[in-house]
Each structure stands twice: as C-alpha cells, then as structure tokens.
Amino acid sequence: MSNLVLFKPRRELSAEKNLVAFVAMCRDELTALGADLPFDEMKWDVTNHIKLKGKNGALRAVFSTWESADDSEPTPMAEPYAAFAKSYFRYQHAFCPTKSIGSRLAATRALGAALAEYGSNDVTLVHGQVLNRAAQLITVHYGKDTAYRTGQQLEMLASFIDNNRLASVPLRWVNPIERPVQTAGRVGEEFEARRQEMLPSPFALDALARAFRAASETPDVVVASVAAIMCSAPDRVNEVLRLQTGCEVHSSRQEAPEAYGLRFWPSKGADPMVKWVVPSMSSVVQEAIRRLQGTSSEARQVARWYEDNPSAMYLPSHLEHLRGKDLFMEELGEVLFAEPVSRTSPGQWCKGIRTHQFRHYLNTLAQAGGLSELDIAKWSGRKDIRQNEAYNHVSDRDVQARIVELKREVEESSSTDLVPQVRISLVPRSEFKKLGIKAAHTTDFGICVHDFVMSPCPLHQDCNNCNEQVCIKGDKVGEANARAAHEETASLLEAAKEADADGEYGASRWVQHQTLTHSRLSELIAILDNPRVPEGALIRLTHVEQASRLQHAVKARAALEKKSDEHRLLKWIVVEEGATE
C-alpha cells in the first residue's frame, strides 16, 4: 500500500521554500508509483500501477519537453521545472489518480513550454499570461475534445500551484478552452460528417452479412462472428472477446418463444448483466457463438498447455518434431509464411467498419424507434444515461419522417383512446402562427406558450388564471385534469368562505382568488362540453391581461405609499388625542 503524505504549505514561507519542501516530500516520503521509483529519470515505467484496458505493453510516463513529446528520442524537461512536474504527477496520482495520464503530462509540458518562452524554468514565476500561453499551445496542437480535456488538467495544475502557495503571485485562472458541443444539433455539415464517421455504411452492413455466410477460414469466421454478435446488442468489442464458453442463457416463457441472451461483464463499471437478443437475431447469434466455440477450441488448449508448461513454447502437432532443434530456412518457412492479398476491384476492394460503429448504430436505431433513455443505457451497459447523447445520431430528417409516418398511421387507424391525443398534439402551422407562439411546452391542462427565455413564470404556475395557457378540446388527459381541478377548487372555495366568516386573517384574499379560479374553470368546462366546439379546437383566455414587471413595480410602489400614508395618519390621530387629553 502506498504511503500517503499530505503536503501542507506554510504561510510564512516564500513560494521558493514551499516548492523545495514539496519536491523533497514527493521525492523522499511518497511511495505512490512504487517505493523504488527512479525519480530523477526522464521515463517512469508505471505499468504495474496504472492499468489501461486494451493495452498489453509497457506504460511509461515521459517527462519531455513540449516540442519533443512525439519524438523517438525526446528531450528531457529543464530543471528545476522537471522536478516540480515529476513531484506533481506523483502527488496527484496518490490523491487524485487518473488513467488519462496523457492529458496530465501534456498540461505539465505545455506549462513548461510557456514558462520557457518567458525566459524561465521556475514554476514560482507562473502568472496568468503564462497559463494563457500554455492554453494557446494546447488549442493549436490538439483537436477540440483533447484540447478541452488537457485544458481542464491545466486548470487543475494552476489551482494546485495557487492553493499550495507555490507561485509568487495569486492565481485565479480558469480554463479558457471551450467545451466542444457534442451532437447538440441535428442539422448542418458538422453533424452530417460526424454521423457518417460514427455509423457504418449500408454497403458495409450488407457486405458483413454476406461475409458471415461465406466465411470459411478461421480469421474470417472469428471476425464475422464477433461482428454478428455486436449487431445484436450495443456491446464493446472487449466485452465480446471476454465472453466465456458458458455465456449463453436460455429462459422459457409462458405462451411465448424461448428467450435467448448472453452473459456480459460491462467494461465501464456497470453490473454484470444478461443482454437478451431480439428473436430476429437469435439464430444468427447462436450460430456465431457455435462458430467461435469451435474456432477457439485450439486456443483454449494452448492456454491450458501454457498453464501446465509455463517455461516452454507451445508447438502444434505437425511442428512438434522441431522442438529443441536448430532450424534451417526451409524449416523456418513452415512456421512463418505470408500470402499476398488479391484486390478484386481496384480502389474499392475493402469495405471498412470499426467495431465501435455497431454500438453507435444500434443506439441510433433505438433512439429512432422511441426507446427510453433509461432502457438504452441499461441495454448498452452504461451507468449514466447522460452518456447516451454521444451515441445518438438521429438527424432532423429522421425526426420529420417519423412525425409524417405517425400522422399517417393515426389517420388510417381506427379510433382508440390514444388517437385523439396524438392527433391534436400536431398543431397546424397556420394555427401556430396565429397564436404568436415562440415556445411551447405541455402542462396538466394543455400547453403553455410562455417564453421562458425572456422571463420566468409570472404566476407561479397558476395556469387557469393565465392567458398564456392553451387548452385543446379532445385532450383526454387535459380535460380530466380540468374537471378534477374544478371540483377541488369548489371545495377550497367553501373552506375559504367558512374561514372568512370566522374572521381568520387573509381568508378574504383566498375567497377572491378561489372564486375567480372556479368561475374560469366553469367557463372552460362549459366550452369543452359545448357540442358546437369541434374536436381539436384551441381554447385560450382572452379577457385576461398579464401584468408586466413594470406594472407589478407600480402596484407595489402604490401599496407602499398607501401604507406610508396610513401610518402618518395614524400618528397624527395619536398626537391629537394626546393633546386633547
């Protein structure tokens, strides 16, 4: 277990002395990343301390300059900044570990480069302009996403320097690199480019189906079978590759076909789960699992052989005669071989598809089909439904096509309880323009057309006394809520009248309010019950003028002046009575 030592800067010491104490503590007292860590080396091997999925080789933290970070032989950071960067990296790994060490190292390199441009390698001389220059270097060098993440690490670095009194001047620096908006819009060239990048093409999907049926060689069978499984559910490729031989689940159901699913262990923190396969893909997935079990049988034998013989090299049966012998070139050719790949169609011989595109594709299909965000997150093995947004590539054309299809289905279908509700939710454009509506959202009684961009609700959701509420005849839910509110208001009005008769303070105001609300609800219900009013009619209060903020202020000022006049009159009467006595 690592020895954790919290650094506490001393207020009475200078930034230089606090920096010396911080570096000494991280070098000599901390044991994060190993007690035998070669602190003074440029490259640290952190393979045993930071585990990254999908990376089997060595993982190193390289404290190089900004300019030489991508070189095969990078240049070390200059001292004394290098000692601080190493201390910061080790200290942060102890108290704030991250697997994104690339962004953390990039932030330290950028700050070192910015300091060097100002003629120094001393971190105590950092100020706002140095940090701004570092952010500029990051913005120019990286793409939007990586630049934002690295900028966040730079802000964390600046806060650490400031909070621990390692700079000569106070730092109140915030990352100026804007967070990129991911798939916020559904129109435009940028969205279309991202959509095409993240989704597989129809030609690739068609070719994949053909490849699954035609595959005969082991590499082709493995790739096609893994792709077929990933087409059945939004999986990550490492989750599919970690499937065990007993991953299949068969569950019988009453009066329904047998359910078929696969046991998955999600990669990003979600609980182990069974992902059920839709019936249309069930036979395909079962065939893919059968093929993978067959092609991987020899690999499982090799794994078992290495468990029993950890110090030897496995050789297949037809090469066993070569064990312990020096090989000639002809014998070496039996082990190593290569075959040229023939191109059947120049320029178009290969249709590429990435494994993660299946996940984006199935999530987009689920979004277009109306599956809830919670169900999509659970189906995909996510812990946070907010992550769905990055996988949603439904365009504006898809939404419009769905609306047109839904409207056609409603018009062609027979009358049900749900049909009027769906039909009236599609307000004609001409009627929408007549209302002068700039924004609308649903309420318990209809829709509210108040523009919340301009101001909050002025009536605190007293919808039935507001001229910005629009009720729709034929809305089953809205009509039921209006009638329930009418009955409730009647009982509240009776209670307010009884309280007013008993002389309770403020009851008269409630009598006025409930009387007004009850009368307006009565008028609304009368219109809803009027057979001459057609289904789908839009009903809105017209004799109510909404008070503006200025009118509210004038009324409040008048009430204040009236109260002041009453106070002065009361004071004068008291004085006169005192004089009379």
DSSP string of 328-381, one letter each residue: PHHHHHHH----PPP-SSTT-S-----HHHHHHHHHHHHHHTT--HHHHHHHHT
Pick the last residue of a domain from 121, 137, 163: 163
List the beta bridge partners of residue 248: 262
Chain-centre distance for alpha carbon 172 = 28
DSSP string of 208-260, one letter each residue: HHHHHHH--SHHHHHHHHHHHHHTTS---HHHHHT--TT-EEEEEETTEEEEE
Average pLDDT value for residue range 527-551: 76
Two structure tokens written together for 545 = 């003028």
CA dist., res. 183 & res. 391, Å (int):
9
CA distances from 443 to 419, 450, 451, 472, 481 (A): 19, 11, 14, 11, 10
Residue 42 belongs to what domain range? 15-163
Q: Cα 100–101–103 angle (5° rounding)?
A: 75
Average pLDDT value for residue range 297-311: 88
In a domain? residue 156: yes
Mean pLDDT (the chain) is 80
Give percent helix, percent strand, percent coil of the chain, each to the nearest 5. 55, 5, 40
CB count, 10 Å around CB of 410? 17
Spatial neighbors of 380 by CB under 8 A, at least 6 apart, are 234, 359, 363, 388, 391
Q: With left for phi above 0 and alpha for psi between -120 and 50, is residue 171 left, alpha or beta?
A: beta
Confidence band of 415 (pLDDT split at 50, 70, 90) = very low
CA distances from 524 to 427, 444, 546 (A): 20, 14, 18
In a domain? residue 133: yes
In a domain? residue 41: yes
Per-residue pLDDT at 431 exceeds 80 = no
Number of structural domains found in the chain: 2
Maximum average pLDDT range among 18-27, 127-136, 367-376, 463-472: 127-136
Two structure tokens written together for 223 = 């790739």
In a domain? residue 475: yes
pTM beyond 0.85: no
Strand residues in 488-534 grouped as ranges (E): none
Q: Of the ranges 54-58, 76-80, 316-320, 487-491, which one carries the lowest mean pLDDT score? A: 54-58
In a domain? residue 55: yes
Please give the pLDDT value at position 562. Answer: 65
Identify the residue with better confidence: 579 or 10: 10
CB count, 10 Å around CB of 49? 16
List the beta bridge partners of residue 250: 260
Over the range 448-461, which residues count as b (16 or more CB within 10 Å of their CB) and which as e? bbbeeeeeeeeeee
Maximum average pLDDT range among 56-70, 99-113, 190-204: 99-113
CA dist., res. 511 & res. 519, Å (int):
12
Spatial neighbors of 431 by CB under 8 A, at least 6 apart, are 538
In a domain? residue 451: yes
Please give the pLDDT value at position 424. Answer: 41
Per-residue pLDDT at 561 exceeds 90 = no
* Residues belonging to the chain: 581
CA dist., res. 381 & res. 234, Å (int):
8
42 contacts 32 by C-beta, under 8 angstroms:
no
DSSP string of 283-336, one letter each residue: HHHHHHHHHHHHHTHHHHHHHHHHHH-TTS----GGGGGGTTSPPPHHHHHHH-
Average pLDDT value for residue range 26-40: 84
Three-class SS of 84-117: HHHHHHHHHHHHCCCCCHHHHHHHHHHHHHHHHH
CA dist., res. 357 & res. 371, Å (int):
19
Average pLDDT value for residue range 286-306: 89
Confidence band of 359 (pLDDT split at 50, 70, 90) = confident
Handedness of CA 288, 294, 299, 303 (dihedral sign): positive
Identify the residue with better confidence: 418 or 314: 314
Q: Distance from first CA to last CA of the chain, Å, rounded?
A: 90
Per-residue pLDDT at 291 exceeds 80 = yes
In a domain? residue 304: no
Pick the last residue of a domain from 524, 540, 556: 540
What is the side-by-side strand order in the sheet with 248-253? 248-253, 256-264, 273-276
Backbone angles phi, psi at 224, to 5 degrees: -65, -35
Please give the pLDDT value at position 110. Answer: 92
3-state secondary structure (DSSP) of residue 275 = strand
Query: Which DSSP letter does residue 171 get?
Result: -
In a domain? residue 197: no
Share of the chain above pLDDT 70, in %: 81
Pick the last residue of a domain from 148, 163, 178: 163
CB count, 10 Å around CB of 231? 21
3-state secondary structure (DSSP) of residue 420 = helix
CA dist., res. 566 & res. 105, Å (int):
72
CA dist., res. 173 & res. 157, Å (int):
10
